[in-house]
Amino acid sequence: MVAKLTKKLDTLFSLWIRQAHATDGVGVCSTCGFTAPWRQLQCGHYMSRRFKSTRWDRRNAGPQCARCNAWGHPALQGVPGEGEAMARWVDRTHGDGTSEMLRTLAKRHPWKPKAYELEVLIQEFTRDLQERGFVTR
C-alpha cells in the first residue's frame, strides 16, 4: 500500500513542481536554463528522493530538463541531478542557506512514512493543484 501511495504522491508532486515554476505553460530548467513546455520537463530533486524527509518538500525540487536530471549536462558538472547547480538554484529561489538546511534535514532526520501520512500529503497536493487551477493528471 505504501508503494502505491508513494507513486501517486510522486506524480502529484511532480505536477505541482513543474507547473508552479512555469509561466504561461513554459518552464525553465533550474540547472541549465533550457526552456520547454512544463510537461516536457522533469521534477528534479536537490537531495535525492531516497531521503523521505525531503522527498516531497517543495524547496527541494525544481523543474529540470531530462539531460540535467537523468544524465548530467556536460557544460555543468556532468553528473545526474547536477547537485551543485541545483543547490545554487535552491538558495536563489528559497533563500540563502536553504540547500544546507535541506541537506541537514535529509541526512539527520530520517523518516519512514506511514500510509496515512502519505494519504494526507496526497490530499494536500491534490487540493492545492485544484485551487491553483493546475492540471492534476
Task: Give the Cα separation of 70 and 128 in Å (integer).
Answer: 28
Is the separation of the CB atoms in 112 and 54 below 8 Å? no
Cell of 15: 505536477
User: Does 66 reside within a domain?
Assistant: yes
88 is in which domain, residue-wise? 2-124
- Reported as a single tens digit per residue, the pLDDT across 120-132 is 999 999 999 999 9
Per-residue pLDDT at 38: 97
> Is 9 a domain residue?
yes
d(CA 72, CA 87): 14
Kindly state the cell numbers that stand for 1: 500500500
Q: What is the pLDDT of residue 76?
A: 61
Instruction: Tell me: pLDDT of 1 over 60.
Output: yes
Q: Are 4 and 59 in contact (CB under 8 A)?
A: no
Per-residue model confidence as pLDDT tens digits over 77-97: 655 556 788 999 999 999 999
Residue 20 pLDDT > 70, yes or no? yes
Q: What is the pLDDT of residue 75?
A: 61
Count of structural domains, the chain: 1
Which of 2-11, 13-22, 64-73, 107-116 is least confident? Answer: 64-73
In a domain, 134, yes or no: no
Q: How far apart are CA 11 and CA 31, in angstroms?
A: 21
pLDDT digits (tens, 9 = 90+) for 42-75: 999 999 999 999 999 999 999 999 988 887 666 6
Cα separation of 68 and 50, whole Å?
18
- Say if 91 falls within a structural domain: yes
In a domain, 14, yes or no: yes
Strand segments, DSSP code E, in 57-130 are 61-64
| 10 is a domain residue | yes
Phi, psi of 136 (to 5 degrees): -110, 10
Residue 98: what pLDDT?
98
